[in-house]
Amino acid sequence: MAVIINTNVAALNAQRNLGVTSSKTSKTLEKLSSGLRINRAADDAAGLAISEKMRAQIRGMQQGQRNALDGVSMLQTAEGALDEVHSILQRVRELTVQAGNSTLSSSDRTAIGEEMVALRSEIDNISQRTRFNGLNLLNGSLATTLDAGTSTADTATATANGATVSVGSIDVGDADASSTYNLSNSGAVLTASVTASGFTRSETFTVQDMGANGTQDVIFEELGVTLSLSHDANAGNVTGATIATGLNGTTVVTTAASSASFRVGSEVGDDITLSFTDMRSSALGNASKLSTLIADNSAVSTTTKADTLLASVDTAIGQVSTFRAVLGARQNQLETAINSLGVSAENLSASESRIRDADIAAVSSQMMTNQIMQQAGVSVLAQANTAPQSVLSLLQG
């Protein structure tokens, strides 16, 4: 064995191993201080990728739970308001039954009519002021109907005197969903009609003459349909009768109402939807809506009117009952989703923990081993550094 001074191979070897041990000790201390087995991708690249996907899913589920809880609060707000609407309708029905009795005088019927007008007005007030986080729940704004795109009225035109009137847009936000409105005319009087559940409802509008660059809204207020007309830049006048004739035989087709959507999961499509029904008096009742039958204090001025109103009120009570049942069913569904998400998030958290979290007992044992190895490495390095001193004894001899 050669005896050398310039290169202390034993010291270099001890120093290298001591460096490896110090690196392991540092990583072990990092795991103990963070509580994580994986602190960087280098610790376990595949494990990090898997655990990050799990973390995204867990946090999505936890947010889904909060969304569902907000949804429950929203439905409870709507259902609480409808409880009072039910009470009002029951009172209106009671008054209607009373008005069916011939023992009442005309002044009695007027008094009953006054109370009915107040009650009908309060139904509309409740529908308008029932909000959750600024969103109106019962006035139909969360059940907005859209033009299906197959309406023939969209492309209708009326031409006269070198000028053309066309339909610029159609607003069906307050119309019935999934319905077809048929337009017909008699002169300048345009009629829109729709048939649903065996009942046909119609409304008329007298179309006005239009000049160059003029605009006009044909409004069927009770049906919830508005056609916006526009005249081109030509100077020719187009009469209301000509415009109404141009719209004769055309249709306005609506889509299903849009729905409130509650995201109760971590992925697209993990939704529970609900279409909030319009609960205003203009939407309650049979073919004859409550807003029309109780327009003034003459609502029950005759027993015939009382009988007609009674049938409409019964339908309205059924509509409110049906929507309250839907709200209750969706609330139960949301609560079930909350429980399910809690279990799923718990199980996924356990799985993510097994991948990402450090086993403190095992890391502590590894820490002790590394510390002992580090101390031994320091001792061996010290001895290796003193080994070349043996050369001095040869030089002294």
Give the pLDDT mean for 373-397: 80
Give the pLDDT score at 72: 95
Output the pLDDT for position 94.
96
Is the pLDDT assigned to residue 172 strictly greater than 90?
Answer: no
210: confidence class by pLDDT, cuts 50, 70, 90: very high
Average pLDDT score over residue span 139-166? 82
pLDDT of residue 301: 92
- What residues does each domain of the chain span? 56-143+259-347, 152-253
Q: Render pLDDT for 356-365 as a digit per residue (tens, 0 to 9).
A: 988 888 888 8
Lowest mean pLDDT among 83-92, 168-177, 205-214, 271-280: 168-177
Sequence-separated (6 or more) residues with CB below 8 Å from residue 130? 77, 78, 81, 136, 137, 138, 139
| Amino acid present at 97 | V
233 band by pLDDT with thresholds 50, 70 and 90? confident
**Res. 326: pLDDT tops 80:** yes
Give the per-residue pLDDT at 257. 62
Residue 144 has pLDDT above 60, yes or no: no
What pLDDT is recorded for position 229? 92
Q: How far apart are the C-alpha atoms of 221 and 204, rounded to whole Å?
A: 10
Among the listed ranges 115-119, 179-183, 369-373, which one has the minimum average pLDDT value? 369-373
Average pLDDT over all residues of the chain: 89
pLDDT band at 256 (very low <50, low <70, confident <90, very high): low
Q: For 62-76, what is the mean pLDDT?
A: 94
Could you give the count of Cα atoms lying within 13 Å of 236 in the half-sphere of its Cβ?
Answer: 13
- Model's pTM, two decimal places? 0.64
Mean pLDDT across 266-279 = 85
Is 60 exceeded by the pLDDT of residue 160? yes
Mention the CATH class of domain 56-143+259-347: mainly alpha
Residue 395 pLDDT more than 80?
no
State the pLDDT at residue 288.
Answer: 80
